C-alpha cells in the first residue's frame, strides 16, 4: 500500500506532502474521464445503429437527460454520504455501478437500453468524480484549492478527449459495440484495482476542522451545524453567492450537453465522419483539460472571479463561432476556444464554492453545487432537444446556448464577490 506515514498521524494538508495519495486520486479521475468520454463521440454520431432517426433530436437527447437527472441527484447524495461513511467507500460504490454500462451498450437492441446504461453512468460519475475532487480538496491546503481542482478536472477532461478520439478509431475498426465493451471493462477493472492503495481523506477533514476551531478559540465540534435539507435550501436559493455559482454550473453544463449530444449530429450533417468529429470534440475536451493545469493555479494567485468571467466570454464566443463557420479547420479553432473558456470557468466555480464552505459541510455543499451543475445536463438535453426538434435543425439550439452562457456570466459578474482567501 502506498503510504503517507510521515504525515498520516497529523493529517497535515498540502499537495506536496500528500503527493502519494494525491497522485492516486489523479489517476482515479483519469479513469473516470475515460468512462464518460467513451460515449461522447461514438453514441451520438452512430445513434442510427440503435434505431434513432436522424432528426429525432429530443429522443437522441434522452440518454443525456437520464444521465443528468441521476448524476445531479446523486451528487448531492454522494456529498452527504461521504461526510458520514467516508470518501473511499462512496468511490467503490461508484465503480461497482459502472460495470453494467458497457455491457448494456453491447447488448442494446434499441436506444432505450442506452438510456438505461446512462442511468448507471450517472451513478458512476456522481460517486466517482465527486469523490476524487472532494478528496483532492481535502488533501490540499486552503491556498491550493484552485490548483487541486484544476489538476482533477484537467486529468478528467484530458481523459474525456482521449477516450472520445480513441473509441472513434476503435469503432471504425471493430464496430461501436465491441469498441465500447472492451474499452469500458478494461478501464473499470484498472480503476478498481487502484482502490487497494487509496486512503480515505475524511481524517484530513476532521483535522482541518479542529485546527479552524482551535484557531478561532471555539469549542471543537465534530458534526456539521445544519442538516442536509437546510444546507440544500441555503446553497440553492437563499445565499446569493451560492445561488449565482449554482446557476453558473447549470449554464456551463447546458453548453457541454450541446457538444455531447448535438455537435456530433451537426457535424455529421455537414459531411464529417466519426473520426473527424472525434477530433473536434476531442480538441474541445483536451484543451479544457490541459489548460486547467494552470487556470486553477492562476485563480489561486489572482482570485476566482476574473478567470470565471473570461471563461464565460470565451465559451460564448466559441459557440457563436461554431455556428458561423462551416469547415473542419475552423471548427477545430472554435472547439479550442470553447475548451479554453471551460478551462477558465469550470475548476474555479467549484474552487469558489470550496472557499466559502465550512470544512465539515464541504462534501454536502459541493454535492449541492454539483447537483445543480450536473442537472444542467438534463435541463440542457430537454431544452436543446425541444428547440432543435421544433426548429428541425441544430443551429437554433446553438444560438440559444450562446444566449444562456452570456446571461449566466453576466449574473456572476453582477452578484458574486471575490471568494479567494487571499483576496478578501
223-250: pLDDT as tens digits: 555 677 888 999 999 999 999 999 999 9
Range of the domain at 379: 19-207+224-423
pLDDT at 220: 47
**Is 92 inside a domain boundary?**
yes
Q: What is the pLDDT of residues 86-138, one digit of tens each?
A: 899 999 999 999 999 999 999 999 999 999 999 999 999 999 998 998 899 89
When divided into structural domains, the chain yields a total of 1
**Is 164 inside a domain boundary?**
yes
Distance CA(227)–CA(213), nearest Å, equals 20
Which cell goes with 72? 445531479
Whether the per-residue pLDDT at 211 is higher than 60: the answer is yes
3-state secondary structure the chain: CCCCCCCCCCCCCCCCCCHHHHHHHHHHHHHHHHHHHCCCCHHHHCHHHHCCCCCCHHHHHHHHHHHHHHHHHHHHHHHHHHHHHCHHHHHHHHHHHHCHHHHHHHHCCCHHHHHHHHHHHHHHHHHHHHHHHHHHHHHCCHHHHHHHHHHHHHHHHHHHHHHHHHHHHHHHHHCHHHHHHHHHHHHHHHHHHHHHHCCCCHHHHHHHHHHHHHHHCCCCCCCCCCCHHHHHHHHHHHCHHHHHHHHHHHHHHHHHHHHHHHHHHHHHHCCCCHHHHHHHHHHHHHHHHHHHHHHHHHHHHHCCHHHHHHHHHHHHHHHHHHHHCCCHHHHHHHHHHHHHHHHHHHHHHHHHHHHHCCHHHHHHHHHHHHHHHHHHHHHHHHHHHHHHHHHCCCHHHHHHHHHHHHHHHHHHHHHCCCCCHHHC
Q: What is the pLDDT of residues 10-28, one digit of tens each?
A: 688 899 999 999 999 999 9
**Is 14 inside a domain boundary?**
no
Q: Which of 141, 134, 201, 160 is nearest to 369 (CA)?
A: 134
Mean pLDDT within 187-192: 98
Distance CA(270)–CA(265), nearest Å, equals 9
Tell me which residue has cell 477533514: 205
Contact 397, 258 (CB under 8 A): yes
Q: What CATH number should be reported for the domain holding residue 59? A: 1.20.1250.20
**Is 5 inside a domain boundary?**
no
Q: What is the pLDDT of residues 259-305, one digit of tens each?
A: 999 999 999 999 999 999 999 999 999 999 999 888 888 888 899 99
Mean pLDDT within 145-159: 88
Angstrom distances, CA of residue 260 to CA of 38, 119, 160, 282, 374: 11, 16, 11, 11, 13
* Exposed/middle/buried for residue 1 (C-beta within 10 Å: 0-12, 13-18, 19+): exposed
Whether the per-residue pLDDT at 360 is higher than 90: the answer is no
pLDDT at 5: 39
pTM: 0.86
Contact 136, 26 (CB under 8 A): yes
**Is 337 inside a domain boundary?**
yes
**Is 412 inside a domain boundary?**
yes
**Is 6 inside a domain boundary?**
no
How many angstroms separate the most distant Cα atoms in the chain?
A: 66
pLDDT at 215: 65
Q: What is the pLDDT of residues 29-49, one digit of tens each?
A: 999 999 999 998 889 988 989
pLDDT at 285: 93
Least confident residue range of 202-216, 324-338, 406-420: 202-216
Q: Which of 117, 112, 131, 149 is nearest to 31 (CA)?
A: 131
Distance CA(76)–CA(240), nearest Å, equals 19
**Is 8 inside a domain boundary?**
no
Mean pLDDT within 343-351: 92
Q: What is the pLDDT of residues 49-84, one digit of tens each?
A: 999 988 899 999 999 999 999 999 998 788 778 888
Amino acid at each position: 500500500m502506498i503510504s503517507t506515514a510521515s504525515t498520516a498521524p497529523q493529517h497535515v494538508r498540502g499537495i506536496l506532502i500528500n503527493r502519494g495519495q494525491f497522485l492516486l486520486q489523479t489517476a482515479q479521475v483519469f479513469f473516470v474521464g475515460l468512462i464518460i468520454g467513451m460515449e461522447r463521440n461514438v453514441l451520438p454520431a452512430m445513434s442510427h445503429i440503435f434505431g434513432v432517426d436522424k432528426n429525432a433530436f429530443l429522443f437522441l437527447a434522452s440518454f443525456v437527460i437520464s444521465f443528468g437527472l441521476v448524476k445531479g441527484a446523486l451528487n448531492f447524495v454522494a456529498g452527504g454520504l461521504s461526510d458520514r461513511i467516508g470518501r473511499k467507500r462512496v468511490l467503490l460504490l461508484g465503480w461497482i455501478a459502472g460495470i453494467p454500462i458497457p455491457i448494456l451498450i453491447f447488448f442494446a437492441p434499441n436506444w432505450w437500453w442506452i438510456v438505461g446504461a446512462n442511468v448507471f453512468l450517472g451513478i458512476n460519475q456522481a460517486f466517482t468524480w465527486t469523490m476524487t475532487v472532494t478528496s483532492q480538496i481535502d488533501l490540499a491546503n486552503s491556498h491550493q484549492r484552485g490548483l487541486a481542482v484544476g489538476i482533477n478536472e484537467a486529468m478528467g477532461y484530458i481523459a474525456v478527449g482521449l477516450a472520445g478520439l480513441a473509441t472513434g478509431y476503435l469503432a471504425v475498426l471493430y464496430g461501436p459495440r465491441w469498441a465500447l465493451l472492451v474499452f469500458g471493462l478494461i478501464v473499470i477493472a484498472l480503476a478498481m484495482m487502484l482502490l487497494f492503495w487509496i486512503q480515505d481523506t475524511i481524517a484530513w477533514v476532521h483535522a482541518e476542522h479542529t485546527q479552524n476551531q482551535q484557531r478561532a478559540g471555539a469549542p471543537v465540534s465534530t458534526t456539521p451545524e445544519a442538516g442536509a435539507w437546510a444546507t440544500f435550501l441555503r446553497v440553492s436559493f437563499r445565499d446569493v453567492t451560492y445561488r449565482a455559482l449554482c446557476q453558473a454550473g447549470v449554464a456551463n453544463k447546458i453548453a457541454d450537453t450541446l457538444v455531447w449530444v448535438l455537435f456530433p449530429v451537426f457535424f455529421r450533417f455537414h459531411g464529417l465522419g466519426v473520426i473527424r468529429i472525434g477530433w473536434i470534440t476531442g480538441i474541445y475536451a483536451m484543451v479544457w483539460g490541459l489548460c486547467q493545469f494552470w487556470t486553477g493555479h492562476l485563480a489561486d494567485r489572482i482570485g476566482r472571479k476574473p478567470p470565471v468571467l473570461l471563461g464565460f466570454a470565451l465559451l460564448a464566443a466559441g459557440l457563436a463561432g461554431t455556428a458561423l463557420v462551416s469547415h473542419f479547420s475552423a471548427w477545430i479553432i472554435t472547439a479550442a476556444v470553447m475548451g479554453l473558456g471551460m478551462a477558465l470557468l469550470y475548476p474555479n466555480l467549484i474552487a469558489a464554492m470550496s472557499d466559502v464552505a465550512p470544512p465539515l459541510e464541504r462534501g454536502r455543499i459541493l454535492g449541492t453545487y454539483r447537483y445543480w451543475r450536473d442537472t444542467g445536463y438534463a435541463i440542457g438535453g430537454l431544452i436543446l432537444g425541444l428547440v432543435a426538434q421544433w426548429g428541425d435543425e441544430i443551429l437554433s439550439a446553438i444560438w440559444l446556448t450562446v444566449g444562456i452562457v452570456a446571461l449566466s456570466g453576466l449574473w456572476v459578474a453582477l452578484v458574486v464577490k471575490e471568494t479567494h482567501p487571499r483576496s478578501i
